[in-house]
Amino acid sequence: MNVLFIGDIVGNIGRKTLKQVLPALKDKYNPHIIIVNGENAAAGRGITKAIAKEFFEWGVHGITMGNHTWDNKDIFEWIDDEPRIVRPANFSSEAPGRGMAIIAANGKKLAIINIQGRAFLPPIDCPFRKADELIEEAGETTKAILVDFHAEATSEKIAMGWYLDGRASVVLGTHTHVQTNDETILPGGTAYITDVGMVGSKEGVLGMEKAAVLHRFLTQLPSRFVVDEGKWHLHGLSLQIDEATGSATKITKIRLTEDEWLVM
Ligand code: FE2
């Protein structure tokens, strides 16, 4: 099974870029299933129903989220009725939505699980134990299991990769918006990368305009971050999973820029 995963899509520029580049990515990597992280899709904060609908129309099959899940209040109205979107499973048991979904497309079935880290992020239930629980549940339906670990600290993400090695097909990190150079297949057969990266402006700070970010660093005063609209970059992963065993057989980084993507 071929899976395409695209890193955190930031704002309008990130969405426009996805729409523009996705057809070429489909041609090149022939994915059966396409998953994106959408937690920054609405002006950098959360996602709306209209944006999720557009992603699905463009060929996305599933959406993962993160710490910005609730930033757009409209999500409370529809998340329970949208089985193709997952938010961190280790949020409170009172929270709406789900942390695991079975995505079925093109004759394939992939479980997607979203968990959030606890290092340098708000206190939350244990991501390791929650992953145990959901991997077992997903295993009743499919051996192909993708875990999006939305976390800040490289140590916590690497630890999760080792913890789930041989039990998940893929453990990938999101949230930092910086693609790491450590993609690998761990000894137990789990494809791993510390962070997939992002889709959006490469000329700001993690997708946001640099002036406001610098103002906050230099003055420690509040400043409102807005999405930068400079030239884009797009980061993702192409993955191959052996459905019979659940093991990953290939992990390839995707790294495109506005100036170079036509020659990919
Ligand atoms: Fe995040």
pLDDT tens across 85-101, in order? Answer: 999 999 999 999 999 99
Compute, in angstroms, the gap from residue 8 CA to the centroid of ligand 1: 8
Beta bridge mates, 185: 191
Compute, in angstroms, the gap from residue 98 CA to the centroid of ligand 1: 17
pLDDT at 262: 73
Q: What is the pLDDT of residues 215-237, one digit of tens each?
A: 999 999 999 999 999 999 999 99
Compute, in angstroms, the gap from residue 106 CA to the centroid of ligand 1: 30
CB of 65 closer than 8 Å to CB of 96 = no
Catalytic residue numbers read 68
Q: What is the residue range of 66's domain?
A: 2-262
Q: What is the pLDDT of residues 104-137, one digit of tens each?
A: 999 999 999 999 999 999 999 999 999 999 999 9
Compute, in angstroms, the gap from residue 168 CA to the centroid of ligand 1: 22
Long-range contacts of 22-26, Cβ-Cβ distance < 8 Å, separation of 24 or more = 22/58, 22/59, 22/60, 24/261, 24/264, 25/236, 25/254, 26/59
Compute, in angstroms, the gap from residue 25 CA to the centroid of ligand 1: 24
CATH number of 66's domain: 3.60.21.10
State the DSSP string of 205-248: BTTB-HHHHHHHHHH-------B--SSEEEEEEEEEE-TTT--E
Helix (H) or strand (E) segment spanning residue 78: helix 75-78
- What are the residues whose beta carbons fall under 8 Å from the beta carbon of 233, sequence distance 6 or more? 197, 198, 199, 200, 201, 202, 255, 256, 257, 258
Instruction: Indicate the number of domains in the chain.
Output: 1
Q: What is the pLDDT of residues 195-211, one digit of tens each?
A: 999 999 999 999 999 99
Q: What is the pLDDT of residues 54-76, one digit of tens each?
A: 999 999 999 999 999 999 999 99
Compute, in angstroms, the gap from residue 39 CA to the centroid of ligand 1: 7
CB of 131 closer than 8 Å to CB of 156 = no
